[in-house]
Amino acid sequence: MVPLPTKTPLTGLQAEQFRHRLDQQATAALKQLPGLDLLVRAVLGPIAEQFFYLDNISTSVLVGPVQLPDLHTLLVEACQVLDLAVPQLYVRQHPVPNAYTFAMRGKQPFIVVHTALLELLNPAEIQAVLGHELGHLKCDHGVYLTLANVLALAASQLPGGEIWAQGLQGQLMEWVRCAEFTCDRAALLATQDARVVASVLMKLAGGSPSLSPQLNLDAFLAQARAYETANDTPLGEAVQQLRSPSLTHPLPVLRAKEIDRWSQGRQYQSLLQQEGIRYTDQVPIKGGWRNW
């Protein structure tokens, strides 16, 4: 593997220095639900942790210095930049490009990456994905991610599970979508190249191993601007509101536009310069995000 450009280590980086305001708001709303945090940590967490850990260690390949060492190097470098301990990383044979994280506070966290995603991306883009997943760990998203995984499992496999999960799932999915904005910022901090993060989103939207060499990132960013303009109407906002509850992630074009905006702002630049300044987002977000 050709070495990637050297990044600035963000020693002492704290989650609140890059957490998106929508993540802050959605997390605060979930914390208002009485007993939810305790329920996950004390009851659901230990069971889910054991289930998902055994599932992954029995069906995936554990990455390390002598097992897929290039991937291990990308992970270690991202952890050094984000000032995190190195979690376990597994590669799972799967035709759907995806990656996910599991962690409960005080337990062994791990990241899983599907082979289809690795085939789709170049090394810098893979490191962006790892940085995104590390963002979940940095921000202690594990409690609510665990609950999201349990609800998804219940809705798909348990008799009556869809009805049981429906009440909480809407609010939880809103939090998941908001948390993705924060983790896109972690991906940018890990790679320190906004075009790399945007390229990942472009390939997830419409890429394949054969099509990727023909994709044009500038055209995709122009597409994001066009969508934002078209969506900034009463009809566009209504369509976005109807569609948002069914999404597990924000729309790729909007994520690309948002990370491009944040990369040019003072908050991101201050982190790279180790100024330690904290800011909240002040720029209104168009395209339906403000309606979540």
Place of tokens 């720029």: 283
Q: Kindly name the residue from 77, 133, 180, 228 that is annotated as catalytic.
A: 133
Token digits for 169?
A: 């799932």
Which DSSP helix (H) or strand (E) runs through 141? Answer: none
Which DSSP helix (H) or strand (E) runs through 61? Answer: strand 61-62
Token digits for 72?
A: 């291990």
User: What gap in Å lies between CA 97 and CA 82, rounded to an integer?
Assistant: 24
The amino acid present at 213, given as its one-letter code, is P
Q: Could you confirm whether 180 is annotated as catalytic?
A: no
Angle between helices 194-206 and 123-138 (to 10 degrees): 100
User: What gap in Å lies between CA 7 and CA 41, rounded to an integer?
Assistant: 35
Got the DSSP string for 71-132?
HHHHHHHHHHHHT-PPPEEEEE--SS--EEEE--TTS--EEEEEHHHHHHS-HHHHHHHHHH
Contact of 191 with 7, CB cutoff 8 Å:
yes
User: What gap in Å lies between CA 8 and CA 290, rounded to an integer?
Assistant: 32
- Given CA atoms 267, 269, 270, 271 in this order, what sign does their dihedral have? positive
User: What gap in Å lies between CA 256 and CA 258, rounded to an integer?
Assistant: 5
The set of catalytic residues is 133
